[in-house]
Amino acid sequence: MKDSAAHRKPLRRALLASAALLSLTTLSTTAQTPSPAGQDALAMADVTTPVPFAANAPVPLPVQVERRPLANTFDVRLFEAIAQDLVANQRIPGLAMAIVHDGKVLSARGYGITDVRNAEPVDAHTVFRLASLSKPFAGTVTGMLVSEGALRWDSPLVDFMPSLRFSNPTAAERLTVADVLSHRVGLPRTTFDRDIQANADYRDLVARLSQVSMTCMPGDCYDYQNVAFSLIGDVVFAASGQFYNEAVSRKILKPLGMNDSSLGLEGIMASPRWAKPHVRAGAGWRSVTPLPTYYRVSPAAGVNASISDMAQWLIAQGGHRPDVLPAPLLATLQAPIVGTPSELRGGSWRRERLNAAGYGLGWRVYDYAGHRMVFHGGAVQGYRGVMAMLPERDLGIVILWNSESGLPSGLLPTILDRAIGLPQQPWMDIDPAIESLFADQTNDAPAAPATASATGGAHASRADATPH
C-alpha cells in the first residue's frame, strides 16, 4: 500500500523549489529559468506538465536542501553482506556496489567474478558497461557547455544540425536541446531501437527520422528514446568542436579522477580488468562478447566505469565537487521537467514506494515515499545497473552487475528504506540469517562507519536488452 498523501507533501514542495532552478547555469550570462507558469505546473503531485524554458528570466539562487541524518537502521555491513549473498553459488556472476554519504565513500567494493569461464574476482576497479546510466553524463556535459555560453537549453537543434528533418515540417525547428535530454522529442517510444540492435548505422537512422510519424510536437509529450536522445552528441560536437566521447572524457572523467572509465567498445575491452557480460545458460550463466550496437549511440549508452569511479561520480553529483560541477548546474540537471507516470508501475518497490515520477535533463526524479530521489537505471545485453541519490540524506548508491538477472534490483530499495527508516519490506530473496544477524545491532545503534574505501581490494564471493 502506498504512503499517505501527507507523506507526499515534502516532495511536492521540493519539486516546486527545484522548478525554480530548471534552467540555471553556473554563473553564465546566458542562464535561463522557467516561467512562473511552469513553476506552478511542476507543483502538481504527478509532475505531468512540460515546463518551458524562458529566455531572459532572472537567475535565482540555488535552494538549500535541509539535510537529515541517516536512520539508525542504516548499516553498511548489512548491505555488503546482502551483496555477498547475491553472488554466492553464482546466483549471479558478479556485482559491484558503492555507497557514498556526506561526500565520503562508505563502501566501494566488488563481489563475485568477472567471467564464469575465466574467473577473476570483481574489485573496486573492475569496469562495467553502464548502459543507460550513461544518460546523466550526456546531460552533464551539455550543461557544462551551456554554462560556458556555447549553447542554450532552449537552442533549436537545427542551429547545430541544419539537415535534421521530421515528418512534421516545423518539428525540427521547434526541437530544443532540453527537449532531447528530457525525451520530449515527439517520436514513438524507443524509435529505431530494433534497428540499432540489428546493427544499423546511427547516421542512417538519423536521416530516416523524417519518415517516422510523430506522436506529438517536440516539447509536448514524453517518450523514452535512445537514438533520438543521442542527437545531443551531434550538438556537443557542433558547439564545442570535440567529438562527444572526447568531450565527456575531458570535461568529466579526467577532472573527477575517474581513471578506470572510458567510452565505447574499444574502451571497455582495453581496460586492465573488466566484467564480461553474461546471459542465461540453462540453470547457470554463459559469458558472451559485448555487443557493439548500443555503443553506437554513445550519449544514450556509451560509458564504461568501475564502482570506484562511480562513487566519485555520485559524490560530484551530490554537490561535493563544485570545482567541476557547481551547485546551480546540478540543480538544473536534477529538476523534473516532464511527468513520467508509467514509472509508477513495474517492480514491486516502484508500485509500493513511488508517488510521483518525472524526468529532468538526463536524470529521473521520483517521490520515494515522500522523499525526493534522483535516479537512473540501465540495461543492455549481459549488464544491469541502478543508481540513486537521496539529496536530503546526502546519500548516493550505485549497483552494477554483469548479468541479465533482476535479482539485485531489490538491493536498492532495501538500502533506501533503511536510510529513511521505513518499515522493512521483502524486496529481494536473501538468506534470512543475514537480516537476523543485523537486526538487533541496527534497531538502536547509530549508522555504521565506513567499512571499505574506494581503493579497497576485491571482495571475493563465497563460491568461485535495451538500455532504459
| Residue pLDDT, tens place only, 241-256 | 999 999 999 999 999 9
Residues 6+ apart with CB under 8 A from 105: 98, 99, 311, 315, 450, 452, 453, 454
Band (pLDDT 50/70/90 cuts) for residue 145 is very high
Q: Where are the alpha helices (DSSP H) in 175-306?
A: 177-181, 193-197, 202-208, 231-240, 244-248, 264-269, 298-301
Q: What is the pLDDT of residue 64?
A: 59
Band (pLDDT 50/70/90 cuts) for residue 132 is very high
Lowest average pLDDT, out of 53-67, 181-195, 234-248, 440-454, goes to: 440-454
- Pairing state of beta strands 262-263 and 278-281? unpaired
Band (pLDDT 50/70/90 cuts) for residue 66 is confident
Q: Is the pLDDT reported for residue 229 higher than 70?
A: yes
- pLDDT one-digit tens code per residue, 382-431: 999 999 999 999 999 999 999 999 999 999 999 999 999 999 899 987 66
Backbone torsion region of residue 351, taken as left when φ is above 0, otherwise alpha when ψ lies between -120 and 50, otherwise beta: alpha
3-state SS, residue 86: helix
Q: How far apart are CA 225 and CA 215, in angstroms?
A: 13
Q: What is the pLDDT of residue 345?
A: 87
Q: For 312, how many CA atoms within 13 A lie in the half-sphere containing its CB?
A: 19
Nearest Cα neighbor of 189 from 216, 164, 162, 211 is 216
Mean pLDDT, to the nearest integer, of 293-297?
A: 97
**Cell numbers that stand for 66 in this block:** 535541509
Percent of the chain with pLDDT over 70: 78
Q: What is the pLDDT of residue 156?
A: 97
Residue 443 vs residue 418, higher pLDDT: 418
Residues 6+ apart with CB under 8 A from 433: none
- pLDDT one-digit tens code per residue, 163-175: 999 999 999 999 9
Q: Note whether 377 and 386 are within 8 A (CB).
A: yes
Q: What is the pLDDT of residue 274?
A: 98
The one-character DSSP state at 255 is T
Q: Is the pLDDT reported for residue 278 higher than 80?
A: yes
Q: Note whether 427 and 86 are within 8 A (CB).
A: no
Q: What is the pLDDT of residue 435?
A: 58
Mean pLDDT, to the nearest integer, of 149-154?
A: 97
Q: Is the pLDDT reported for residue 211 higher than 80?
A: yes
Residues 6+ apart with CB under 8 A from 195: 205, 227
Q: What is the pLDDT of residue 362?
A: 98
- pLDDT one-digit tens code per residue, 332-353: 999 999 999 999 988 889 999 9
| Domains in the chain, CATH or no CATH each | 76-133+257-444 (3.40.710.10)
* Residue 286 burial class via C-beta count within 10 angstroms: exposed 0-12, middle 13-18, buried 19 and up: middle
Backbone angles phi, psi at 16, to 5 degrees: -65, -45
Band (pLDDT 50/70/90 cuts) for residue 439 is low
Q: What is the pLDDT of residue 443?
A: 42
- Average pLDDT of the chain? 84
Note the residue count of the chain. Answer: 468
Q: What is the pLDDT of residue 8?
A: 40
Q: Is the pLDDT reported for residue 441 higher than 80?
A: no
Q: What is the pLDDT of residue 428?
A: 87
* Residue 170 burial class via C-beta count within 10 angstroms: exposed 0-12, middle 13-18, buried 19 and up: exposed
**Cell numbers that stand for 265 in this block:** 567498445
What is the pTM assigned to this prediction? 0.85
